[in-house]
Amino acid sequence: MLKKLCRHTICLGLSLVLFCLDTASTQIAKAPKKRTGTQSEGSLANGGCCEDMRMLKIQVANLTSLLGELSRKHESDWINIHLKSMELENSKKVHEDRLLEAESKISEMNGRLEIMQLQAAQTVTQTTADAIYDCSTLYKRNYKISGVYKLPKDEFLGTPDLEVHCDMETNGGGWTLIQRRKIGLTSFNRDWKQYKEGFGTIRGDFWLGNENIFRLTRQPSVLRIDLEDWEGETRYAEYGFFTISNERNNYKLFISNYSGNAGGDSLRYHNNTNFSTKNKDNDKCVDDCAQLRKGGYWYNCCTDSNLNGVFYRYGEHAKSTDGITWYGWHGSSYSLKRVEMKMRPQNFVAQN
Ligand SMILES: [Ca+2]
């Protein structure tokens, strides 16, 4: 019938051709519908269980998709947390780097200053005949910046060269430091030989050495002790007369003429006593004070101050009697944060 109709359309116009094509496409479209109908009739013939099966399959598919969604959400939450922690870690590192950079710049500047001071001190000795005996001599030569200097070897006095730390500011300046506690990494529980020769680092914590101190006190000297506690308060004690004897007399201490605001003269108790270390008990006690107080010092029986004791940090500083103590200010079990012992000649005159 289609063929017949199409034969007629050859003689008809273009509009009838279109009609023919339209009819044909309708016929073609109908064909698959018929096939589908036949198939579904076949499936229905299998009974009602298939409907349950279909529902179950749908439920399983739904649950699977729900599980997938949950797992994706979980994963994305975890990734977010991980990213945030990485972000925090990075910003912490940036801050740390900046801090390190600042610290290294400061230390570099300090290093340059120290080199300039050393060069200046060396130049002085090359151009003058007078010995550079201590920091007060340097001060008189117009070196008024606090820091590390090198005292040159002196053939006439028979003294070796020596690195010293000069305080050119406190109460007129000109001070040669003989001891400092401020960082706490250097142990002061040392033997006789180490206390004799000196130990530690001149830029940090150190003991200048009993032999050097003895040499420096051969001219009439003043001793000054600067103290700082963990609250940032400072005190000082000054002795208008200070000297120590030689090694044969156990570097015995002589001090007098106290002045200051340190709450009391906590070095007087140690006046006229020998120096003791952990391997040399020269104290006035049946006990071994150097062993008990863990330092080298002019121990009596045993202490009213223990400036070479154990460095305790904040929080640990008020528990032991072997700390860096000054009884007149904070008692027998408060370890100080910072100490400087320094000396200069009695005839020192501060300049403006
Ligand atoms: Ca003893």
- pLDDT number for residue 1: 42
- pLDDT number for residue 119: 59
- pLDDT number for residue 46: 54
Average the pLDDT over 58-76 and give the result: 89
Nearest to 110 by CA among 147, 139, 151, 135: 147
pTM for this entry: 0.65
How many whole angstroms from 175 Cα to the centroid of ligand 1?
33
How many whole angstroms from 15 Cα to the centroid of ligand 1?
133
* Confidence class for position 51, pLDDT limits 50, 70, 90: confident
How many whole angstroms from 210 Cα to the centroid of ligand 1?
20
Distance CA 174, CA 160 (A): 20
Distance CA 28, CA 25 (A): 5
Statement: residue 129 has pLDDT above 70: no
How many whole angstroms from 268 Cα to the centroid of ligand 1?
19
- pLDDT number for residue 50: 84
- pLDDT number for residue 227: 98
How many whole angstroms from 276 Cα to the centroid of ligand 1?
9
How many whole angstroms from 304 Cα to the centroid of ligand 1?
16
How many whole angstroms from 345 Cα to the centroid of ligand 1?
33
- pLDDT number for residue 42: 45
- pLDDT number for residue 166: 97
Query: Do 90 and 98 meet the contact criterion of CB atoms below 8 Å apart?
Result: no
